[in-house]
Amino acid sequence: EQTAAHFMPEERTLESLQTAAEGCRACDLHRCASRTVFGEGPSTARLVIVGEQPGDQEDLSGKPFVGPAGQLLDQALSQAGLNRQQVYVTNVVKHFKFTTRGKRRLHAKPNSREIFACRPWLEAELAAVQPQAIVCLGVTPAQALLGRDFRLTQNRGRILHTEWSRRTVATWHPAAILRMPDPARSAQMQSQLVDDLVLAASPTDVRH
Ligand code: URA
Ligand code: SF4
């Protein structure tokens, strides 16, 4: 089974990784998506935020977390006293997966083969940035970095060790907060997202 490792450049700076990922053909998702949506942010970032997969607007713009979930993330970051410009934001899977419903493109969950195929890009990004802290948004990045048995309901908001950071924290995905029908529950999840960002960011110097 082919993985992104096959497309890995020799020089692994964020720029050369991004360029190489534009040509990745390690799974079928590149066939229907418009472009690779690589991570974005400074190589000196102390905090890396990992989402699941680009959505419709990310696919069109080529940038991660620019749609509705991204707006909620930006709001949570600023509530946590963090600046998006100082954070490196990426996804486990770099191409948009969708089903079409009329003219709309609806998000479809990546399967384990696609996650496995794409994972070398995320690992290379983490190796290039060497963050002090990592925040996993939702269960897909949490399982990718913390293992398939990870459960968000049990381990959200805890500091966990991974080989990429001794401060890895999993929290709610902003899209899950947006989908939550109960407004009180949705507000609670949003404040937990902010708390979890604060937890990951302190007491290290990730704000600078
Ligand atoms: N949801 C994600 O997980 N990532 C994005 O980039 C956008 C929405
Ligand atoms: Fe490569 Fe990932 Fe895109 Fe699949 S989703 S083609 S592994 S970049």
As separate numbers, helices (DSSP H) first and strands (DSSP E) second, the chain gives: 9, 6
Instruction: Compute the distance from residue 94 Cα to the ligand 1 centre, in Å.
Output: 10
What would the 3-class secondary structure string for 105-123 be? EEECCCCHHHHHHHHHHHH
Which ligand sits closest to the CA of 136?
Answer: 1
Instruction: Using the predicted structure, report yes or no on whether residue 81 has a pLDDT greater than 90.
Output: yes
Instruction: Compute the distance from residue 30 Cα to the ligand 2 centre, in Å.
Output: 6
- Provide CB contacts within 8 A for 162, sequence distance 6+: 134, 145, 146, 168
**DSSP letters of 75-95?**
HHHHHTT--GGGSEEEESS-S
pLDDT the model gives residue 208: 46
What pLDDT digit, counting tens, does each position of 22-68 carry?
999 999 999 999 999 999 999 999 999 999 999 999 999 999 999 99
Contact 77, 48 (CB under 8 A): no
How many Cα atoms sit within 13 Å of 41 on the Cβ side? 25
pLDDT the model gives residue 76: 98
Residues with CB under 6 A from ligand 2: 4, 21, 24-27, 29-30, 36, 93-95, 114, 117-118
| Average pLDDT of the segment spanning 157-174 | 97
The neighbour count for residue 140, using CB atoms within 10 Å, is 21
Which ligand sits closest to the CA of 121?
Answer: 2
Which ligand sits closest to the CA of 141?
Answer: 1
What pLDDT digit, counting tens, does each position of 129-139 carry?
999 999 999 99
Instruction: Compute the distance from residue 8 Cα to the ligand 2 centre, in Å.
Output: 12
* pLDDT band per the 50, 70, 90 thresholds, residue 95: very high
Residues with CB under 6 A from ligand 1: 51-55, 58, 64-65, 67, 69-70, 91, 175
pLDDT the model gives residue 203: 67
For a pLDDT cut of 70, what percent of the chain falls above it? 97
Contact 155, 170 (CB under 8 A): yes
Instruction: Compute the distance from residue 163 Cα to the ligand 1 centre, in Å.
Output: 23
ipTM tops 0.85 = yes
